């Protein structure tokens, strides 16, 4: 039987048994509408509020600051369009972000530019980490909002969020962070880290797909995103996904409880694979900071090959991996993140992202290290570009 190794946890994670068990009653017996006044509906409402408390506890927030959404993209859009609307009412029309944000953020900002907002997209050095001095220099008297991702979904680099948040707090700038990759992997306290708005998605930490949350700090006023009924305290209309919300609460509680143990294990496993690849595959490059990155994130570029061919051959060996964000898998263009940190097109095309989870083992790592070098060599043997690289060197 073909071996199966799932190493694409940044795209999505497997639903945990505990999460599934917590959701099942709300898919069957406890099917009531949370807005209904009778007991069946009241029990659903109680379950939602319990999950709200769980998310708040995980983030160091208050339950009333947590709003449930359909996922990370909706949370990002609500935060960005809401903050832009709020800042425009105060005469502020300048936004600061980076060139390596997720497309849920970048495309929202592009839409705002068409509405007359000015956006500064900060350059990011080769290690993938935003410099706070660059951020501070970009601030003008028109700056009212900033959105900087907590940890990059492709190269895993962790940004100086508390420091940037402090700058924003001191200057009266609303600060949002897309923490979709960070929640469940890193310790987050929205109060201590000066965060006004934070987006998260359950399926990145063993919860269900189609449910997420937006943290809105008390005192930060942004408009509603979906109008209709009185759900989510009148801020986000639509009948609640009770089972999904319960799964989110269970998943985030589980994830936060095991962060340190998980991080220690995944860091060792990550570094083991990184060391093996750099040692055994010539002209390979680790993308992003070697240490200040998510515990399970590995991103390589291999000169002389195409990433898509690499993924197909790895799949034949039973290894699930990616070449970047799952949200751009239909695109033939190289990763905008890799281009932004200075890689030329021909090298950015040959990228591989492995994102590890608790189920991955050192035996899995050895298997990856055994099949990856010959696959890279096979592709290079067929590549005219590799012949050119060899001749030039």
Q: What is the helix (H) or strand (E) element at residue 236, kind and residue range? A: none
Distances (CA, A) of 118 to 114, 319, 332: 9, 43, 29
- The residues carrying an active-site annotation are 327
Of the candidates 63, 47, 43, the one whose C-alpha atom is nearest the C-alpha of residue 55 is 63
Of the candidates 183, 187, 167, 185, the one whose C-alpha atom is nearest the C-alpha of residue 175 is 167
- b/e string for 256-272 if b means 16 or more Cβ within 10 A? beebeebbebbbebbee
Residue 293 and residue 207: Cα distance in Å, rounded? 22
Distances (CA, A) of 314 to 2, 61, 125, 382: 12, 42, 30, 17
Backbone angles phi, psi at 14, to 5 degrees: -75, 135
Distances (CA, A) of 131 to 122, 127, 187: 9, 11, 21
Residue 62 and residue 373: Cα distance in Å, rounded? 49
């Amino acid at each position: 039987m073909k071996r199966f190794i799932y190493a694409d946890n940044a795209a999505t994670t497997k639903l945990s048994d505990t999460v599934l068990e917590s959701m099942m009653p709300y898919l069957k017996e406890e099917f009531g509408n949370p807005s209904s006044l009778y007991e069946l509906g009241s029990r659903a409402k109680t379950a939602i509020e319990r999950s709200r408390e769980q998310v708040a506890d995980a983030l160091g927030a208050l339950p009333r600051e947590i709003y449930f959404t359909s996922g990370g993209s909706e949370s990002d859009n609500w935060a960005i369009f809401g903050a832009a609307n709020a800042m425009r009412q105060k005469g502020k029309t300048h936004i600061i972000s980076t060139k390596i944000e997720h497309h849920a953020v970048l495309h929202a900002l592009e839409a705002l530019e068409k509405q007359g907002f000015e956006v500064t997209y900060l350059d990011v050095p080769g290690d993938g980490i935003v410099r706070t001095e660059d951020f501070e220099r970009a601030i003008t008297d028109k700056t009212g909002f900033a959105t900087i991702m907590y940890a990059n979904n492709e190269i895993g680099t962790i940004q100086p969020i508390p420091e940037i948040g402090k700058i924003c707090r001191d200057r009266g700038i609303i600060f949002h962070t897309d923490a979709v990759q960070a929640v469940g992997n890193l310790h987050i306290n929205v109060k201590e880290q000066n965060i006004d708005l934070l987006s998260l998605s359950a399926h990145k930490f063993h919860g269900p797909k189609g449910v997420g949350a937006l943290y809105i700090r008390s005192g930060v006023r942004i408009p509603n995103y979906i109008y209709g009924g009185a759900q989510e305290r009148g801020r986000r209309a639509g009948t609640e996904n009770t089972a999904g919300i319960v799964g989110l609460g269970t998943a985030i509680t589980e994830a936060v409880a095991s962060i340190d143990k998980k991080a220690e294990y995944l860091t060792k496993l990550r570094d083991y694979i990184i060391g093996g690849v750099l040692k055994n595959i010539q002209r390979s490059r680790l993308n992003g900071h070697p240490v200040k990155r998510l515990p399970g994130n590995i991103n390589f570029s291999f000169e002389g090959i195409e990433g898509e061919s690499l993924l197909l051959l790895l799949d034949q060996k039973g290894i699930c991996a990616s070449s970047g964000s799952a949200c751009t898998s239909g695109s033939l263009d190289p990763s905008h993140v890799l281009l932004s940190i200075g890689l030329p097109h021909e090298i950015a095309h040959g990228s591989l992202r492995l994102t590890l989870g608790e189920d991955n083992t050192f035996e899995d790592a050895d298997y990856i290290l055994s099949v990856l070098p010959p696959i890279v060599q096979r592709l290079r043997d067929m590549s005219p570009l590799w012949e050119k690289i060899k001749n030039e060197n």
